[in-house]
Structure 1
């Protein structure tokens, strides 16, 4: 993979600002050709620098309960448990962490009852989970997938 330069970061910034910008719109803003934008975007997609996704608001589709669940596992079991957790449709994120919990997941549910069912039946049935700590989101202050620094001269 080639190193990203400032132009690549600017393209990413425009796409994060508005994923519906056309290549020609971005080209005009950067004062380059549409072909330059197209080839850079295609190369970044090929290099898996980013992907196009739709970020849905969970509340708007009936998923009113967000939980961050910390899971402690038996030694040597976190890979196997993570593989099982990835298969649940409620789970949006699974990661291994240092600290109090071996795994942390983010999951969405229609109700507190659905969350309780998930914890008491689905998580409880996974061999190797020693404990879980459930944190329910009360209020959200920020939810973004923007990682490109603004006005940064740093080249990655």
Structure 2
């Protein structure tokens, strides 16, 4: 377990908001020296707290894509097997394990309704899946 202080948490929040922010601007907002920010970022990366940086797209950037959330109930203790199979499908994005009625929530994406239908069929054929429920995402707020 890594010990994070308030400055670390504030730095992480600023990087979540804008990972391209300059060290100087981060230091100014945190009211610490630039070297402090550089050292903390290096430590957070080295310790695996910061696992990487990514690009966030506006939902409108991929407006033509069909996106959905699929909730999945797994038979018995087959969750790891189902997760491995789901990771192999290109239409499956992020996967979440959950508690309650559903064991897994999967984000699905496809270019067309036909491709989306194919993706649903592929997921439903995975051994170990007891049932699914899918909701197409219409708008993002």
**TM superposition score normalised by structure 2:** 0.86
Matched, 1:20 2:17: no
How far off is 1:77 after superposition? 1.2
Unaligned runs of 5+ in 1: 142-156
Which structure is richer in relative contact order (CA contacts within 8 A, separation 6 or more)?
Answer: 1
Matched, 1:103 2:104: yes
CA contact (8 A) 1:94 1:103 kept: yes
Runs of 4+ in 1 over 4 A off after TM superposition: none
Instruction: For 1:36 and 1:74, locate their aligned partners in 2 and report how far apart those are by CA, in whole Å.
Output: 50
Deviations along 1:72-124, one digit per CA (max 9) or x if unpaired, are 2221211101111112222221122211212111111112222111112x113
CA contact (8 A) 2:124 2:132 kept: no
Partner-residue secondary structure (3-state), 1:138: coil
Shift in CA distance, 103/29, structure 1 to aligned 2, threshold 3 Å:
closer
Structure with a larger share of its residues in helix: 2
- CA RMSD of superposed structures (Å): 1.9
Partner-residue secondary structure (3-state), 2:80: helix
1:149 is aligned to none
How far off is 1:21 after superposition? 1.1
1:112 is aligned to 113
Instruction: For 2:40 and 2:10, locate their aligned partners in 1 and report how far apart those are by CA, in whole Å.
Output: 11
**TM superposition score normalised by structure 1:** 0.79
Instruction: For 1:13 and 1:104, locate their aligned partners in 2 and report how far apart those are by CA, in whole Å.
Output: 26
